[in-house]
Amino acid sequence: MTPEIEALITDAAGARPLRFSALSGGCIGDVSRVEMSDGSNLVAKLGGADSGLAREGFMLEYLAEHSPLPVPRVLHADDNLLLMQELANDGRINTAAEQHAADLVAALHDVTGPAFGFEGDTVIGGLNQPNPPDPSWLNFFRDQRLLGMGRRSYEAGRLPTATFARLETLAARLGQWIEEPQVPSLVHGDMWGGNVLSYQGRITGFIDPAIYYADAEIELAFTTLFNTFGDRFFARYQEHRPLMPGFFEVRRDLYNLYPLLVHVRLFGGSYIGAVERTLTRFEC
């Protein structure tokens, strides 16, 4: 850590940083546990110009203010440094933790907004995530999620021309499978296992958000993509918010095209095949 960063941490926390140890995770810069002179531990993420760390800090603060979702307290946020409270985490999501997560996520999705999208752009995996407000979820999902990320992946040389053309065909037909939800729900936006912290059967927090107002089903779909949660989560969630027929059979795969396209833009490789298999399933 540079003297400038250490000074920022001291000013924000009111105590001196004593030791830094690297942590795994994060798409932006380095992540470290910071042992402080007052005995507390903090988490510091380092970035640079246009890293998105300032927006990440804003998103955590937005969730803390507007939702019941537990998130780490932010002590400092700019594109060079995001300094946060460290939350307990034993890495085990058991039955009790899944049920607790379902209670929390259902309560998050009960927070509604005036339109789909958000008041400004957010970030996902370090990538800009456009959120121009739109009264139509179908149009927003088509233009800002599928075609938006698909085009960026294509222009970056990650997504083949033929695959992008197939994606455009599917996007034009979305109304065959997706109906407009009743209200826009606030979503965390990047709910995979690495972003869910738990300790002794309780969820302690959710990190690395990519928030906006959406059809809540897009969040639920993402939790199945990398097996974040399973049947116990969905059984409890539906006690709060029953799912409409066809989610698991149809809409889940459509909605998971967006995080798959994010991974194509970031990594390419096998994620292209996953996108193509979904397109084939829907005869596109």
The residue type of 191 is M
- With b for 16 or more beta-carbon neighbours within 10 A and e for fewer, the 229-239 pattern comes to beebbbebbee
Those residues with Cβ within 8 angstroms of residue 271's Cβ, 6 or more apart along the chain or in another chain: 260, 263, 264
Query: Active-site positions?
Result: 190
Write phi, then psi, for 76 (nearest 5 degrees): -160, 140
* Dihedral Cα 44, 82, 211, 242, nearest 10 deg: 30
Long-range contacts of 278-281 (CB under 8 A, 24+ apart): 278/253, 278/254, 279/163, 279/166, 279/167, 279/170, 281/253
Let me know: does 209 contact 71? Beta carbons within 8 Å: yes
Long-range contacts of 133-136 (CB under 8 A, 24+ apart): 136/180
- Read off the tokens for 186: 């606030």
Let me know: does 108 contact 187? Beta carbons within 8 Å: yes
